[in-house]
Amino acid sequence: MEVIIQKDAQAATDLTARLICDAVQSKKDSVLGLATGRTMENLYSNIVKRYQAGEADFSRCATFNLDEYVGLAAEHTQSYRYYMNDLLFSKININLEETYLPNGVAPDLAEACQQYENKILDKGGIDIQLLGIGNTGHIGFNEPLSSLASRTREKALAPITLEQNGPLFDDPAEMPRRALTMGVGTILDAKKIILLATGKSKAKILAKAVEGPITSMISASALQLHPHCVIICDEDAAEELEGKEYYHRIFENEPEWQVYHSLS
């Protein structure tokens, strides 16, 4: 695991966007694992600007999102399909038929989850998995006590997740209580992983995930097991990392293109 600390959220977002676009340019048919949430909004805006500047061609890419709410149709404004179409897919030259999300309105959710796993395998696996980190330390919707070997499945959302995401709905009571999510094991199967974290609110949980014990109570801690994972964060999110000075020293001695050169 590499930890790259940037001066602020903009710098962290800019580096993440550049790494993703560089990787896509290097491998035109990249399979990208994508995430949603507030942290990703600025990232996707940055990627769109780079695409418009000719820095990336997504025409041969395929994408798989981490999760989707159970019961929300694609046209629902709070569905993750709507989010992705609105913020990214409609603004780049990707084939919408090659953009995949779990089907939260499938008549058989278990079968839909298995089909999702099969589709990822059919595409040769995920080349780069993008992640954020939730306040419970979750990646995707792998809430506390998720098995570290779990696959795509239906998951009940934790109270803190409902509290965090509820205000995004016109009526917080309408927020679904369950979601379909890639499992921790599914995420760890990705060839490379980038986790982007910004802001002081992520400092405590990021430190636990990066430097604490590997535990099912914090699914992001499983990333310590991955051989090609980079954490990109700003100074605020890095505030409680015990090894912060060490991470800074590594980055100063090894420029970013050397620290994570294997991504592109």
Catalytic residues: 67, 138, 143
Rounded Cα distance between 183 and 189, Å, is 10
119: left (phi over 0), alpha (psi -120 to 50) or beta: alpha
Nearest residue to 158 (alpha-carbon basis) of 203, 115, 216, 102: 216
Rounded Cα distance between 226 and 214, Å, is 12
Residues whose CB is less than 8 angstroms from the CB of residue 33 and which lie 6 or more positions away in sequence, other chains included? 63, 64, 65, 66, 126, 128, 129, 130, 182, 187, 190
> Reading across the β-sheet that carries 229-234, which strands appear in turn?
2-6, 229-234, 192-197, 128-131, 31-34, 62-65, 99-100
Nearest residue to 134 (alpha-carbon basis) of 220, 70, 210, 60: 220
Q: Which helix (H) or strand (E) holds 203?
A: helix 203-211
- What's phi and psi for 203, nearest 5 deg? -60, -50
